[in-house]
């Protein structure tokens, strides 16, 4: 039985600063949801309200339909990692041992978790000497102590090396595939795009986009197709005739917008022009994301996920 995290109309101001404004989205069980936005866009405040650490001005955050403070065993239902700061004089093991006592988990779970996050060898060193990547692993371990249904992670990938990023990707995907709800924040789409299924983009405390990663990719219609063909000029003409925009050649490759890659293939076939290369421009997704957080007009990607309607940033 999964626990969705449902954010409904959440609003919070700190003095004059409206940190979170009428925010609504759902993180579904069995999926990894990326909660994305630039620094200061309200991600941490939203996660803190979800955990009952910050009281919203209005709106609700529920976990499996229940507010965090009303959960029967919150520590066993929700695991969260907020900051990778620890008592420097404690060992990693001591940190996990204190955390597991707080939520009532048996002692052997500490070693299991250390193993799970790849920290067994460093467990008896003081956290003050840990690298940022090691602290991130320990923070994730603490979040997983209670084998929770819901895992909320604030910037968990920040500071991990490429091997660490691959590792956390596999771990989070594994947790989601076992039915857990994984919600992780990041200010970098590129950091999480291989890890997430669903994307919630916020900007100045408001939703800029909710949908699947694929929908985000299609979202702004500016996806650039890279194509090389045996007869480049001939294919260029055929693509323009089909309504695409050809933006010139970089190396041997034409950059084309306004058309899907599979349609490019169909047109090449119809024109009997062999294709040498067909791909989507790297960074196209990142550009969609940057457009969203810069406030360029954007569209809701689609309805594959039952999400509340997109509220476009009303003010600039």
Ligand X SMILES: Nc1ncnc2c1ncn2[C@@H]1O[C@H](COP(=O)(O)OP(=O)(O)OP(=O)(O)O)[C@@H](O)[C@H]1O
- Residues forming contacts to ligand X in the complex (CB under 6 A) are 14, 17, 19, 37, 39-45, 187
Q: Residue 31 CB, nearest distance to ligand X (Å)?
A: 21
If we measure between CA atoms, which residue out of 153, 194, 193 comes closest to residue 287? 193
Q: Least separation, in Å, of the C-beta of 38 and ligand X?
A: 7
Strand partners, 225: 256, 280
CB closer to ligand X out of 249 and 290:
290
Residue placing its CB nearer to ligand X in the complex, 50 or 195: 50
Residue 209 near residue 309, CB atoms below 8 Å: no
CB nearer to ligand X: give 39 or 316: 39
Query: Which residue lies nearer to ligand X by CB, 82 or 244?
Result: 82
CB 132 → ligand X: shortest distance, Å? 15
Q: Measured from the CB of residue 308, what is the shortest distance to ligand X in angstroms?
A: 20
DSSP structural state of residue 155: S
Closest to ligand X by CB, 19 vs 238, is: 19
User: In the beta sheet, which residues pair with residue 206?
Assistant: 203
Question: At its nearest, how many Å lie between ligand X and the CB of residue 249?
Answer: 39
- Give the helix ranges, DSSP H, for 56-201: 74-77, 92-103, 108-116, 132-144, 162-177, 189-192
Q: Smallest gap, in angstroms, from Cβ of residue 179 to ligand X?
A: 27
Distance CA 248, CA 22 (A): 43
Angle (CA) 182-307-210 rounded to 5° is 70
Q: Strand ranges (DSSP E) for the chain? A: 5-14, 17-27, 32-36, 58-63, 78-81, 150-154, 181-186, 198-203, 206-212, 225-229, 245-250, 253-257, 275-280
From edge to edge, which strands make up the β-sheet containing 150-154?
Answer: 78-81, 150-154, 181-186, 32-36, 198-203, 206-212
Minimum separation from the CB atom of position 88 to ligand X (A): 22
Nearer to ligand X (CB atom), residue 27 or residue 226 = 27
- For ligand X, the closer CB: 82 or 86: 82
Tokens 């978790």, residue?
113
């Amino acid at each position: 039985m999964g626990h969705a995290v449902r954010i409904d109309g959440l609003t919070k101001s700190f003095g004059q600063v409206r940190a979170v404004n009428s925010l609504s989205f759902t993180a579904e069980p069995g999926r990894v949801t990326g909660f994305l936005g630039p620094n200061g866009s309200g991600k941490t405040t939203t996660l803190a309200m979800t955990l009952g650490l910050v009281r919203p001005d209005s709106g609700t955050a529920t976990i499996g339909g229940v507010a965090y403070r009303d959960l029967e065993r919150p520590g066993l239902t929700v695991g969260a990692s907020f900051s990778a700061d620890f008592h420097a004089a404690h060992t990693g093991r001591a940190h996990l041992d204190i955390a597991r006592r707080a939520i009532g988990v048996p002692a052997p779970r500490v070693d299991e978790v250390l193993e799970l996050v790849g920290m067994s060898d460093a467990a008896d060193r003081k956290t003050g000497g840990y690298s940022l990547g090691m602290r991130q692993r320990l923070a994730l371990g603490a979040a997983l102590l209670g084998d929770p249904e819901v895992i909320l992670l604030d910037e968990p990938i920040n500071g991990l090396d490429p091997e660490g990023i691959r590792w956390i990707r596999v771990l989070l995907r594994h947790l989601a595939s076992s039915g857990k709800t994984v919600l992780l924040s990041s200010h970098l789409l590129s950091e999480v795009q291989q890890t997430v299924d669903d994307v919630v983009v916020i900007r100045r405390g408001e939703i800029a986009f909710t949908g699947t990663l694929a929908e985000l990719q299609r979202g702004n219609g500016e996806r650039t197709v890279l194509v090389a063909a045996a007869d480049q000029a001939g294919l260029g003409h055929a693509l323009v005739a089909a309504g695409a925009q050809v933006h010139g050649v970089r190396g041997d490759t034409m950059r084309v917008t306004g058309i899907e890659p599979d349609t490019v293939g169909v047109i090449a076939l119809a024109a009997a022009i062999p294709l040498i290369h067909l791909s989507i421009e790297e960074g196209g997704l990142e550009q969609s994301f940057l457009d969203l957080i810069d406030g360029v007009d954007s569209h809701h990607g689609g309805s594959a996920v039952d999400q509340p309607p997109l509220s476009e940033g009303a003010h600039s």
